[in-house]
Amino acid sequence: MRPTVKPDPEAGALLAFGAHPDDIEFGCGGVIARETRAGRRAHLVVCSSGESASRGTPSRRRAEARQAAALLGATVEFVALDGDASLEATPAHAARLAAIIRRLRPSHVLAPTLVANQHPDHPRLGRIVRDASRLARYGGFSKLRARPPHPIGALLFYAVTPEAEPAGEIPVVIDISDPLVLRAWTSAMAAHASQLATRNYVELQVARARVLGLRAGLDYAQALYPSDPLVFGSLGPIGATARRF
């Protein structure tokens, strides 16, 4: 479902990185759909073709990712690094993703959490994106001088699976209760049909969002984990907390 609101020229782009073709949709697709419906531009960067998966050819998985991105109202590109299940966190990869950040100049960047107990590509990509976000703002970094430096507003991590949720960290909770947002998100997840043959990942992710939403007094919600403390100019932009005192 593409956004029906005209893009807000004051809102910076949202850039999300995923290690595999379905990570972004399952981990933070509801957030993407909510932001695009609010008029924000969103771009997805997928860093493999899922070639090590038990089901789905690389070409099919790329096609599924393109369909899913369109349903979220986002654009998508694929970046070949080390391949599915072989990703390494290297300075060269960080520089390559930093170049993407400089090209797109987003205000917010999303990446997988750094928790170890998940697919090994996920935390490694999270570290690469964390490093890339810093390199993107270094004006003297010789490998990126072709484009001007760009400091992002915030790096936030998403958990693809329940096991990837950082223990003890208080998340930012994003309300995704809007029925049109939910429809876009679930349709985008369902677009990855090759991965749904043995397990209902859509139901799993919706159940996670339902539980988190109920805890926060909402219908559905997704969690993001800031890499650094969030800064506000006043108390005004801070909404209610999940706990109702």
pLDDT at 2 over 90: no
Mean pLDDT, residues 129-146: 93
Superfamily of domain covering 14-226: LmbE-like (3.40.50.10320)
Contact 213, 219 (CB under 8 A): yes
Contact yes or no for 149/136 (Cβ under 8 A): yes
- pLDDT of the residue at 22: 96
Give residue limits of the domains in the chain.
Answer: 14-226
pLDDT of 227 > 60? The answer is yes
| pLDDT of res. 240 | 83
Chain segment 20-40, per-residue pLDDT in tens: 999 999 999 999 999 999 999
Predicted confidence (pLDDT) per residue in 144-173, tens digit: 988 999 999 999 999 999 999 999 999 999
Number of helices (H), then strands (E), belonging to the chain: the values are 6, 7
Q: Average of pLDDT values for 181-205? A: 95
Question: Is the torsion defined by CA of 218, 223, 229, 231 positive or negative?
Answer: negative
- Give pLDDT, residue 245: 62
Across 125-132, average pLDDT:
98
The per-residue pLDDT for 3 is 35
- What confidence score (pLDDT) does residue 238 get? 86
Longest dimension (CA), the chain: 52
Amino acid found at 171: P
Angle at 237 between CA 169 and CA 137, to 5 degrees: 70
pLDDT confidence tier of residue 7, bands split at 50, 70 and 90: very low
Per-residue pLDDT at 229: 95
Residues 46-55, mean pLDDT to the nearest whole number? 88
Share of the chain above pLDDT 90, in %: 82
